[in-house]
Structure 1
């Protein structure tokens, strides 16, 4: 039961699209990730996913539109909704993710960006 300095935690890793776990709340995990450029189109059949932007601007692409999520804003992607996060013009974006422990990194898709283990910070 110690306070967690999120900004300090971001200084501990540099890899893009590789979430790091900073806390567990019941069956949910709190993750930090650095994003840059495009991810992969995917969906999570059974889990919602919350993205809270700590730095930069996130483009959350859906098949019918793109939502712009700026620093200090969050977006919840409902289960079953196909999405593809990306950043603008090579910008590095920092996000806090809140999702169930069972959520697979790239949902229903496996790609070279898929991670199966999230390091603990």
Structure 2
């Protein structure tokens, strides 16, 4: 078995420019660690079978829920439980997010649509 390699988040975020297109940078027990750059508002959606962890690496994220919002700044995270409808909104020009979620998670959850990413690139 080879020695595990470290991941430099700033370096990995520098490898892509697309928004709302998660990139896989690691895996842990069936969970994928993904990086995504956000601009503006996503779509309302839920994941019936998966929890999601959002960690803000740069910028500000407002996670909207039907019963209120949670504002996250750099270094803060939130876990969105399965089945909870949410709407990620980047409050800064560009917000960088690290996600930890099951490999089966589709970015748009039950909403589908043109922002759905089916093939995830590995960095």
Q: Same fold (TM over 0.5)?
A: yes
The within-5 A match list for 1:1-121 is 1-88=4-91, 91-121=93-123
Give the Å deviation of 1:110. 1.0
User: Where in structure 1 are there 5+ consecutive unaligned residues?
Assistant: none
Whole-angstrom distance in 1 between the partners of 2:70 and 2:122: 30
Whole-angstrom distance in 2 between the partners of 1:118 and 1:65: 31
Whole-angstrom distance in 2 between the partners of 1:26 and 1:108: 24
Give the Å deviation of 1:41. 0.3
Runs (4 or more) in structure 1 with deviation over 6 Å come to: none
Give the TM-score normalised by structure 1.
0.97
What is the RMSD of the two structures over their aligned residues, measured on CA atoms? Answer: 0.8
User: Where in structure 2 are there 5+ consecutive unaligned residues?
Assistant: none
